[in-house]
Chain A
Amino acid sequence: MGQTIAEKILSRAAGRQVQAGEIVVARVDQVMAQDGTAPLAIQVFRQMGGKKPFDPERVNLVIDHSAPSPTESISNLHKMMREFAWEHGCRLYDIGDGVCHQVMVESGRVGPGCVVVGADSHTCTYGALGAFATGVGSTDLAAALISGHLWFKVPETIKVVCHGPLPPGVFAKDLILYLIGRFTADGATYKAVEYTGSAIKELSMEGRFTVANMAVEMGAKVGLMEVDEKTWEWLKEHGGGEFTAFSPDPDAAYAKVVEFDLTSISPQVACPHRVDNVSPIEKVAGTKIDQAFIGTCTNGRLEDLRVAARILAGRKIHPRVRLVVAPASRKVYLQAMREGILATLVEAGAAVVTPGCGPCVGTHNGVPADGEVVVSTANRNFKGRMGNAKAEIYLASPATVAASAIAGEITDPRLFLK
């Protein structure tokens, strides 16, 4: 019987032919943990009797969730990570290097056919590179750190066919918000998603990362895409090594196949306090905002900053609004400086902060006040997510967030993109 991409990758990693439903103990190619999960993983690693990681070259520790550290207790946890990395020769990404998922896809060490586990739920981002990449907790991560293996239930796959092209002013983020609205927050639980169709193929790699990133927002274990020339080009640019790409067999068995026509959708907005509470922009336009945020592992990449700069060039953000911008990585930050993007954003009134996750997850760098409304390019709008349960968070594309920052209310970016 034919196999899906997930079945093929796990077959290779387990060293035998597997089908959905089977349990496998598979080798992992890379492991990653960030500062919210690594300290606990290191503690568990020691409790499990771990002496050294299975292969330090394949271990990535990223300090991004509270970077630079806002408190002494967090500083002590960061110190624990640094000392572990230095002692064992693991790869350490320290403050300013960037958001874990962005540094991982930029690293050249993750690519087609890889199995990657990360102690962060948005590890599914690397599915855009054809990798079986999934989020795990600290104990699973510690087990992988010691053994280089982890157990997986081979997931069933949902094939999601996205017919395009997307209309002008509608972006990768709008596409994935639309899908999550249709699937709901648990519509793909325990499943792999294979995204395909012309709307996906036409996306840049950066846009594909955005779409793969939010697979977990519908409960999925991984969000996979087929490898094509754009994928290989990205890997070449980022020093990628040897990889084996897998395509689904024509007779692969899917849990279901769902088709969407995206040729006439509007920009989409996820309303408080659920990611699947999605509306077209026409329904929420006019909602007053206090803060706008562009960044995160979903939408802090160069393409995102470019479109924001295009909209904000020669304009000023609304006097009653703050705009916080966090480039996704040091590389993104540097290139945005070189292209003059950051100058444009800062002139418009943006506050640029260190690459990292702080504003998205509520640790620091832009915690909203009671009753305030935020429009953000992040992937979650749960109550309390940004550090204040009395605030409201809307999720949208970088273009929508930039347009809203100018108008002071949620605004259709197409008004500024004509």
Chain B
Amino acid sequence: MRGRAHKFGDDINTDYIISGKYKFKTLDMEELARHVMEDLDPEFYHKIRPGDFIVAGWNFGCGSSREQAPLVIKHARIGAVLAKSFARIFFRNAINTGLPVVECDTDQIEAGDELEVDLARGVVENLTKGISIPIKPLPPVMLKILEDGGLIAHFQKYGGFKLEGV
């Protein structure tokens, strides 16, 4: 995955990702995606080139359990979210819905930097700065769900959970 970094701060909550006033209106994620991060940057959706990255600080995705949050990021054509840490429910939702979430030291990334994210190798290459940033490995259970293509695909494949002892 290769794209530019869009930088945000710490504690980016689910209301910022998709405002409560929109999230209940529809199941049409393409429509909801137009409002991604709107309260922080009204023009954000229009700045995204497919494959770009959201890069943030600590505790990304805190707040609501709304799965619309990772879904709108995905539908806005963001390739992955990179943060120093993620809130628990958001992290699960992202894996379940197939949005790559990358825990790494984002202090070494600035807005506009060109990045290459290599999940298999577990590294983010900051091409602009010429540095490699290691990615914290995913727990095996989550890797398994991601490998299956998300939790929906996992259930379609096994008819239930096939995770214990992973």
Contact = CB atoms under 8 A, between A and B. Distances in A.
A binds B: yes
B92 A137 contact: yes
A274 B11 contact: yes
B130 interface: no
Given A40-B68, A185-B59, A186-B85, A24 B164 contact: yes
8 A-B pairs closest in CB distance: A137-B67, A137-B93, A384-B39, A389-B39, A186-B59, A139-B96, A48-B155, A135-B65
Interface string B48-77: 000000000011001111111010000000
Say which size band chain A's interface belongs to. Answer: 35 or more
A190 interface: yes
Given A49-B156, A219-B62, A384-B19, A139 B150 contact: yes
A49 B159 contact: yes
Interface in A61-113: 65-66, 71, 73-74, 77
Contacts of A24: 164
A153 interface: yes
A36 B88 contact: no
B63 A382 contact: yes
B16 A383 contact: yes
A146 B155 contact: yes
Interface in A219-237: 219, 221
Nearest to B164: A25
A280 interface: no
Contacts of B126: none
Interface string B25-41: 11100000000001110
B152 A119 contact: no
B112 interface: no
Contacts of A266: none
A153 B96 CA distance: 15
Contact of A137 (B27, B40, B66, B156): B66
Centre residue among B38, B67, B160, B161 by max chain A CB count within 10 A: B67
B87 interface: yes
A47 B150 CA distance: 12
Centre residue among B13, B62, B161, B164 by max chain A CB count within 10 A: B62
A221 B65 contact: no
B87 A138 contact: no
Interface of B: 11, 13, 15-16, 19-21, 23-27, 38-40, 58-59, 62-68, 70, 85, 87-89, 92-93, 96-97, 139-141, 150-152, 155-156, 159-161, 163-164, 166
Interface of A: 23-25, 35-37, 39-40, 43-44, 47-49, 65-66, 71, 73-74, 77, 118-121, 123, 135-140, 142-143, 146-147, 149-151, 153, 185-186, 189-190, 219, 221, 274, 361-363, 367, 380, 382-385, 387, 389
A367 B22 CA distance: 13
B139 to A, nearest CB: 7
Contacts of A149: 160-161
B15 A385 contact: yes
A267 B15 CA distance: 27
Given A136-B92, A147-B160, A37 B25 contact: no
Contacts of B26: 73, 77
A186 B58 contact: yes
A361 B13 CA distance: 13
A367 B20 CA distance: 11
22 contacts: A23-B163, A23-B166, A25-B161, A25-B164, A48-B151, A49-B155, A73-B25, A77-B26, A120-B65, A135-B89, A136-B92, A137-B92, A185-B62, A186-B85, A189-B85, A219-B62, A219-B87, A382-B13, A382-B16, A384-B16, A384-B20, A384-B39
B62 A186 contact: yes
Nearest to A49: B156
A151 B27 CA distance: 26
A213 B140 CA distance: 30
Nearest to A14: B164
